[in-house]
Structure 1
Amino acid sequence: MFTGIIEDVGHIAKLQPTGDDIRLTVNVNKMDMSDVALGDSIATNGVCLTVVDFSSKHYSVDVSHETIKRSGFADYAVGDKVNLEKAMQASSRFGGHIVSGHVDGVGKIISLTQIDRWLEAWIQAPDALAKYISEKGSITVDGVSLTVNDVDGGKFMLTLIPHTLQETIIGSYRVGSKVNLEVDLIARYLERLMMGDKAAQSTSKSGIDLKFLAENGYLK
């Protein structure tokens, strides 16, 4: 579990393909690695990944095919900067919102407008995520806990303060940049809860079986 409060900006030092997966090595900058152990989780641009090797200056993780498919990792390259956050401890201050590190999809920056010291950013979310994004709700963008300030269909707007621009990779965004998105955890569970008994029904792709054919007049 994470809070979306970024501890450090690291950079990708190695990307080693291992079949359909990737072994990723990230060099840290100021993040304290003294309390990290093998098997710990570190959110890397919002993706919860398990540490398989580390030192005081780096950590390595395995990125699965599923993670590559659902996040921006397919487009990452050596030298790219990434937001870092270690998993929260029970004694930690909860500064952001509940972040699982399970990315729901990839969004795209469609406009950036400087307003005094603030930056207004509009992001296009995948259509499937639009229903989870609400004005004044929370969303995680590349691991950063942020407040949605406006919504227009599948697009949403963020107002970014100077501190966020300085302490995360958001300051380097450009129009067209792709970003990892995680919607609010409560919204995701609420949708499932509202399904009631229908949640137990199969969601097979075809939905066509003997019962379906009989109910629709194809079988006598």
Structure 2
Amino acid sequence: MFTGIVTDLGEIRSVEARANNLSALSIYTRYPRAELIDGASIACNGVCLTVVAAGEDNGRAWFAADAAAETLAITTVGRWQRGGKVNLERPLKIGDELGGHLVAGHVDGLAKVVAREDMTEMARFTLRAPHALARFVAPKGSVALDGVSLTVNEVKGDDFTVLIIPHTLHVTTFGGLKAGDDINLEVDTMARYAARLMETR
């Protein structure tokens, strides 16, 4: 589990297509090399990936992970290119501060940036959720967008808005987002289970 609080802005080191619709990735990070242990989980733009190798290049730590067909199909991972930036977060530990909301790292689908409005020291984004996921998005509720825990401001049909503060614009990929971009969306777990309970009544 994660909290949606980004702790590093990683850089794509390499992307390699392999057999059986598998993609091998490596990502530069500021996390200490000693803490990049095989089998560890790291959320990369909201996608929970498993560390399969790690090393250093000229003092820069990196880790490798594999992305399978399902991940490539429903997330932005298949579009990542060398040099691109990704939001990183390591898993929540018992006793850690829960600064965002509980995030599983299991992306539900892609939201599209409909509009970006830059204001004084912040930005408002309007996004369109896939129709099947829109019912899980509620005003004042939580969503994870590219792994960032955010509060929903307004909802109109399949569209919703979020406000991004200066700090988040600076330390995440949101600073470079523009209209037309796709972004990984994970809906709130509580909303998902509440909807399922209503369906089975």
TM-score band, normalised by the shorter chain? over 0.9
If the length of structure 1 is used for normalisation, what is the TM-score?
0.86
Once the two structures are superposed, what CA deviation does each residue of 1:181-202 show, in whole Å capped at 9, x if it has no partner?
Answer: 00001111122222337xxxxx
Deviation of 1:3 after TM superposition, in Å, equals 0.3
**2:141 maps to 1:120:** no
What secondary structure does 2:17 align onto? strand
If the length of structure 2 is used for normalisation, what is the TM-score?
0.94
Contact kept? 2:36, 2:63, Cα under 8 Å: no
Structure 2 CA distance, aligned partners of 1:122 and 1:104? 18
Matching residue of 1:133: 137
Matching residue of 2:148: 144
Deviation of 1:136 after TM superposition, in Å, equals 0.5
Alignment map for 1:198-213 (pairs within 5 Å): none
Matching residue of 2:63: 59
Structure 2 CA distance, aligned partners of 1:162 and 1:103? 25
Deviation of 1:49 after TM superposition, in Å, equals 0.6
Task: Select the residue among 184, 189, 192 that pairs with 2:193.
Answer: 189
Matching residue of 2:8: 8
Larger proportion of strand: 2
Matching residue of 2:95: 91
What secondary structure does 1:195 align onto? helix
RMSD (Å) for aligned C-alpha atoms:
1.2
Percent identity (aligned)? 40
Unmatched 5+ stretches in structure 2:
none
**2:107 maps to 1:103:** yes
What secondary structure does 1:102 align onto? coil
Higher relative contact order (CA 8 A, sep 6+): 2
Structure 1 CA distance, aligned partners of 2:83 and 2:170? 18
Matching residue of 2:85: 81
Matching residue of 1:215: none
Structure 1 CA distance, aligned partners of 2:31 and 2:189? 26
Q: How many residues align?
A: 196
